[in-house]
Structure 1
Amino acid sequence: MSSEAEGVPVTALERHAELTELIDEANWRYYVLDSPTVSDAEYDAWMREIQELEERHPSLRTPDSPTQRVGAPVSTEFAKVEHLQRMESLDNVFREDQLDAWLARTEKLAGGDAGPYLCELKIDGLAVALIYEKGRLVRGATRGNGSVGEDVTLNVRTIRDVPHRLTGDVPDLLEVRGEVFLPVESFERLNEQLVAAGKPPFANPRNSAAGSLRQKDPRVTAQRDLRMIVHGFGVWRGGREPRSQSEVYARFKELGLPVSDLYRVVDDRDGIWEYIQYYGAHRHDPEYEIDGVVVKVDRLEVQQDLGSTSRAPRWAIAYKYPPQEVNTKLLDIKVNVGRTGRVTPYAVMKPVLVSGSTVERATLHNASEVERKGVLIGDTVVLRKAGDVIPEIVGPVPALRDGSERPFVMPTHCPECGTELRREKEADVDIRCPNTRSCPAQLRERIYYAASRAALDIGSLGYVAATALTQPLPPQEPPIRTEADLFDITIEQLLPIRSVVRDPDTGLPKIDPETGEEKVVSVFANQAEGPKKTAELLVEQLQEAKRRPLWRVLVALSIRHVGPTAAQALAAELRSIDAIFNASEEELTAIEGVGPTIAASIKEWYSVDWHREIIERWRAAGVRMEEDPLPEDVSQNLRGLTFVITGTLEGFSRQEATEAIKMRGGKVTGSVSKKTSYVVAGENAGSKYDKAVELGVPIVDESAFRRLLAHGPE
């Protein structure tokens, strides 16, 4: 029948054929070659588009369509084996309303009684089926096309999580399904080894797991830290058969099979959404990569009643999180100079949307890191957001290289002041600009950091203002030539300043899209708010900053290695700026949280004459240089104890509770470990509470916390 007779426009036919070809090629590279050239986000977009085409034109939905098939043809590298039951794929949803539609459809098909539901993490690994006969492992196979996979039995036997024999009430025949994965830390370690050996690195942990499992020599597989988690079964004959998905997992544990302890059974839609939201915010907590949550009908009899489509079960759905990994083009690698003189390469990329925001730059840390990742200028690279916040290049996609790519060469001189770059010590990884006093980049970055929330918290002194105060356009003289000038600035100095706007990530000038020239602004004379208002606000905030606690003043000095934690320990113990700088290295090292590296750095910083001038000029301007005397009735009854605070306390803000602990000699950290003395838990305590329960760390409520403050642990 012709396309016109079927009512399918030629454009739809052509696009469907194009998408089919793209998806088939992507499947071949993903499932067979273990070397994908498109990101999950791009692949999912193609699948959504072809599904929408087939919804509009049902005659396009043929048995050969990618929407009706699972996986890809098997490779010729391993023997083909037929699965006892077809290994299906999962349908995906990406939004809350799509999840609601699936739940409504599932409830309707189940006669209004589909729940409860089991929620579990969707591991980004390689799907594998294991067959046990009378408890003995006889075969391991990849999913392949769902019906036929590859025999990887010898390789599977090298995975430490996979038992060779089951224990307990063993079924006569059991086929289990699960995901083989490489923990994130092991993936990074493996890539370092590959680059050191002159081999291309893997783009992501899923590729590395697939490549490791499908080694021709099982001894190579055994050297990789592969793990496995099982999440279902195809065949269960004999023994005590389970009645629900959650009972399946309990039985798996009894048999000695590796099961995740992060799944949860919930009653309704609210429970499902709560689980999805929690792991959306904590998706980097597990040791493995996840790309979503799988929701399953828990009762097996309901699963059987619901059945499957041609490729996916109706009783399960995968909720996919926004993509955290995408592919983009690495256009160039440039460098910027930080506040301590460290020269850092950063990637300039074709702008791309990842985890909800557009990214076009990412740090590469140092020249060794560029080499370790194996990236070349011109590469297509895999980009992700570490913790969904910081853009990070994972590695290149070597299969897309065309020969035009070139290696990055680290500069030999500072790009902003021309000083020859060098390593401070021969063993250092980083190279630095040694012109600490006069390098405009270092001064700009130090002033910006001094005003940040981590230090003096001066809201009006952002990156544009820091640039303007240190590098105004001529003929204006810079009001700040060293940090010593910071608290002597006047409104009269500020009003005339015009400056080039710079990017806070790179320090490079921004370009005005209309003129093509560097973007210039009048920084402090904001006529919309009155000619003096912006300048007056900055001067007022500088006056307020003089009263900041001593530890914040220490942080603002940009002493190498002295961050907020060390600064707070120093201020709490020695109580004044003079006592800190007059203390010996041995005295400084003895303070908990300081150590020899920080102690040496403090002494080295204070030995420089213009550094000492900063202290004296700030002191003369009225900056606080010592802590308030301790109240006579406050004892050091929490000395040596470590606290973690979680949830909301009625009588304390988080900062007030922290200060109360530190005033009594205690220490506050952000994460729970076996070394934690107490967890202080308020309302809506989160995962830190759960971690404390797991580790057996004492948990105190607000009332008990007040008793601890008053009387100590006794």
Structure 2
Amino acid sequence: VDEKFAASTPRGSKRTSGVVVSHDVPMLSIQDVFTKEDVLRWVHEVRSRHPDVKFSVEQKIDGLSMSIRYDKGKIVLAETRGDGLLGEDVTLNALAIPDVLQDLGPAGKNDAGLLLPLEIRGEVYMTLEAFEKTNERQELEGKKIFANPRNCAAGTLKQLDPRMVKKRGLSMFLFNMQRAEDETLMQSHQGALRRMKAAGFPIVPSVLCISDEEILAQIDAIGASRGELSYDIDGAVVKIDQIAYREDFPAGSKYSAGHIAYKYPPEEKEAVIQKIELSVGMTGRINPTAVFTPIRLCGTAVSRATLHNQDFINRLGIGIGDTVLVYKSGEIIPKIRSVVREKHPEGGEVYQIPSVCPVCGGRVEREAGSADMFCTNEDCPAKLIRRVIHFVSRDAMDLKGFGAEYIQSLIEGGYLRNIADLYSLK
């Protein structure tokens, strides 16, 4: 057994996540670029030193990275990226992912038929179908739903229960051969991927490119395919195919050498505003929310986005029936970017927040020096509901047994007129 592999592999037959392990080869990030000019600038720099260079252009899977070590053809350790130097042992959970091979078979042997240590890296992710099913179960069980597939995959892999990993249906794409005693595996990135594909690993979709035109065309092709994939991607990775060349292009202590990642502009889709709903916060602030035809963005169904305040509505000229461009800020929060003017309905008008509270009918006024509008009725039930919900929440007094519907029924029944009444309930 290779000494480095053996020395850094925890002893004992039982492994659990949460155990901190050190990476023999740091698991660094990939440096992001946001323009194709920056992609070509980097490509030209590499080509100036190695005219025969080839590049692998591949999907950047939106998940979390995992490193897997094999010895004598058997998996001995799976670890998360962590801070790049230290990660968590998630071997038991990795074994519950169908895409992770427990035995490499012939692919783990060299030309002499000897089984040698090697280390691969892959991206753990959730398909959109698995994510939707998981959130449906979460909702039925009264649990918090996940914001996106990446968060769900990350949280699931780090749990202590491999049964949960299997239940939620995590997947993995192999994207790199990190280390191998067999030198033939460490010559060409594409060659290593083919070897691992033959072993049975799902390999990240990639294309070998030489010219600038080929590289840019593949980046465009990956971007155009985003809406058709069964999983999320968050960019295109350009890698030097000749592995020996990579160390000639270090990117500092934070980033992997020989790689860059092109990040696509945020995905945008059109939606038609069907109605605008108003809610009242605990301070009395009126919150307008656009409800539109459901669309899919970044792997999740979206049908609502905040309109912030009247100034925002006026600036964009938003009204019911308008077609708007919707995107996700940070690929999480739905936001409206603009109105599609050529699709503005005939006779459509800019929406105006009413001057009466939608809950109590009290007067609504714009606060001096603020863009927000507030209900002026201090006895507004919506204010009290929000205040009580906040008061009993985990972030405040952490009082058990007070759900939102229960609090609302207490207020409507006259049992709760202020927060102090909580302590006189029987």
Same fold (TM over 0.5): yes
Letter in 2 for 1:318: A
Which of 498, 502, 511 is matched with 2:349 structurally?
Answer: 502
Give how far 1:348 is off.
Answer: 3.3
Q: Which residue of 1 aligns with 2:102?
A: 164
Give how far 1:100 is off.
Answer: 2.1
Q: 2: CA distance between counterparts of 1:201 and 1:362?
A: 29
Q: 2: CA distance between counterparts of 1:271 and 1:119?
A: 9
> Is the 8 Å Cα contact of residues 291 and 323 (structure 1) preserved in structure 2?
no
SS in structure 2 of the partner of residue 223 of structure 1: helix
> Is the 8 Å Cα contact of residues 317 and 339 (structure 2) preserved in structure 1?
no
Q: 2: CA distance between counterparts of 1:359 and 1:248?
A: 54
Give how far 1:126 is off.
Answer: 0.7
Q: Which residue of 2 aligns with 1:272?
A: 215
Q: Which residue of 2 aligns with 1:382?
A: 333
Q: 1:103 to 1:83 in 2, by over 3 A?
A: same
> Is the 8 Å Cα contact of residues 305 and 335 (structure 2) preserved in structure 1?
no
> Is the 8 Å Cα contact of residues 295 and 318 (structure 1) preserved in structure 2?
yes
Letter in 1 for 2:333: V
Letter in 2 for 1:124: D
Taking structure 2 as the reference length, the TM-score comes to: 0.61
Q: 2: CA distance between counterparts of 1:463 and 1:153?
A: 55
Give how far 1:238 is off.
Answer: 3.5
Q: Which residue of 2 aligns with 1:612?
A: none
Letter in 2 for 1:287: S
> Is the 8 Å Cα contact of residues 168 and 254 (structure 1) preserved in structure 2?
no
Q: Which has the larger radius of gyration?
A: 1
Q: Which digits, 9 at most, give the CA deviation of each residue in 1:613-652, with x for residues without a partner?
A: xxxxxxxxxxxxxxxxxxxxxxxxxxxxxxxxxxxxxxxx
Letter in 1 for 2:307: M
Q: Which residue of 2 aligns with 1:80?
A: 20
1:212 aligns with 2:153: no
1:323 aligns with 2:266: yes
1:246 aligns with 2:202: no
Q: Which residue of 2 aligns with 1:349?
A: 307
1:89 aligns with 2:34: no
Q: 1: CA distance between counterparts of 2:85 and 2:215?
A: 31
Give how far 1:335 is off.
Answer: 6.1
Q: Which residue of 2 aligns with 1:332?
A: 288
Matches for 1:73-472 after TM superposition, within 5 Å = 78-108=18-48, 111-113=49-51, 115-171=53-109, 172-238=116-182, 240-260=184-204, 262-324=205-267, 331-333=287-289, 346-350=304-308, 382-383=333-334, 464-465=345-346, 467=347
Richer in helix (by share): 1
Letter in 2 for 1:219: R
Q: 1: CA distance between counterparts of 2:34 and 2:134?
A: 32
Letter in 1 for 2:334: L
> Is the 8 Å Cα contact of residues 114 and 297 (structure 1) preserved in structure 2?
no
Q: Which digits, 9 at most, give the CA deviation of each residue in 1:571-611, with x for residues without a partner?
A: xxxxxxxxxxxxxxxxxxxxxxxxxxxxxxxxxxxxxxxxx
Give how far 1:280 is off.
Answer: 1.8
Taking structure 1 as the reference length, the TM-score comes to: 0.37
Q: Which digits, 9 at most, give the CA deviation of each residue in 1:298-332, with x for residues without a partner?
A: 1122124334521223311000011349xxxx943
Q: 1:381 to 1:183 in 2, by over 3 A?
A: closer
Q: 1:333 to 1:309 in 2, by over 3 A?
A: closer
Q: 2: CA distance between counterparts of 1:335 and 1:125?
A: 29
Richer in strand (by share): 2
Q: 1:350 to 1:265 in 2, by over 3 A?
A: farther
Give how far 1:148 is off.
Answer: 1.2
Matches for 1:61-80 after TM superposition, within 5 Å = 78-80=18-20
Q: 1:188 to 1:336 in 2, by over 3 A?
A: closer
Q: 2: CA distance between counterparts of 1:286 and 1:345?
A: 21
Give how far 1:258 is off.
Answer: 2.0
Q: 2: CA distance between counterparts of 1:284 and 1:300?
A: 32
Q: Percent identity?
A: 32
Give how far 1:350 is off.
Answer: 3.6
Give how far 1:77 is off.
Answer: 6.9
> Is the 8 Å Cα contact of residues 290 and 307 (structure 2) preserved in structure 1?
no
Q: 2: CA distance between counterparts of 1:206 and 1:288?
A: 10
Instruction: Provide structure 1 residue ranges, at least 5 long, that are not aligned to the other structure.
Output: 1-75, 338-343, 352-357, 364-379, 392-459, 468-500, 512-714
> Is the 8 Å Cα contact of residues 94 and 320 (structure 1) preserved in structure 2?
yes
Give how far 1:107 is off.
Answer: 2.4
SS in structure 2 of the partner of residue 309 of structure 1: coil
Q: 2: CA distance between counterparts of 1:266 and 1:183?
A: 28
Letter in 2 for 1:104: H
Give how far 1:194 is off.
Answer: 0.9
Q: 2: CA distance between counterparts of 1:248 and 1:166?
A: 14
Give how far 1:96 is off.
Answer: 1.7
Q: 1:334 to 1:275 in 2, by over 3 A?
A: closer
Q: Which digits, 9 at most, give the CA deviation of each residue in 1:376-416, with x for residues without a partner?
A: xxxx962279xx9999xxxxxxxxxxxxxxxxxxxxxxxxx
Give how far 1:175 is off.
Answer: 0.7
**How many residues of Structure 1 are paired with residues of Structure 2 in the alignment?**
292
Give how far 1:220 is off.
Answer: 1.4
Q: 2: CA distance between counterparts of 1:151 and 1:362?
A: 52
Structural RMSD (CA): 3.6
Q: 2: CA distance between counterparts of 1:239 and 1:106?
A: 23
Q: 2: CA distance between counterparts of 1:359 and 1:219?
A: 51
Q: Which digits, 9 at most, give the CA deviation of each residue in 1:352-395, with x for residues without a partner?
A: xxxxxx898999xxxxxxxxxxxxxxxx962279xx9999xxxx
